[in-house]
Amino acid sequence: MPFRRDPEGGGTNADGSKSTMYCSKCYSGGQFSNPEIDTAQKMMAFVKEKLKSLGYPRLIANLFVKRIPSLKRWKNTQDSL
């Protein structure tokens, strides 16, 4: 989620400070909200399904998730490429 759309202005780090990297939907208290989503591919599938449930066409959903593997959370994981 883009920070400008995050009603809480970002997630929180373990020390309670605001995260400048992750939104409040994904990150709270220094931990990711859905630890089972541990690869870029799983995140892409999750986001595609969410967008589909919101009525977005498949083409648009594919465009939205295209950059997920390049995000910092996934850059250093083998499964993200």
pLDDT of residue 4: 79
pLDDT of residue 59: 94
Tokens encoding 59: 């083409």
| Longest alpha-carbon distance in the chain | 40
Q: What pTM value is reported for the model? A: 0.76
Distance CA 6, CA 56 (A): 20
3-state secondary structure 19-77: CCCCCCCCEECCEECCCCCCCHHHHHHHHHHHHHHCCCCHHHHHHHHCCHHHCHHHHCC
Beta-bridged to residue 28, according to DSSP, are: 31
Per-residue pLDDT of the chain (81 residues; tens, 9 = 90+): 667 788 998 999 999 999 988 989 889 999 999 999 999 999 999 999 999 999 999 999 999 999 999 988 888 665 444
pLDDT of residue 5: 83
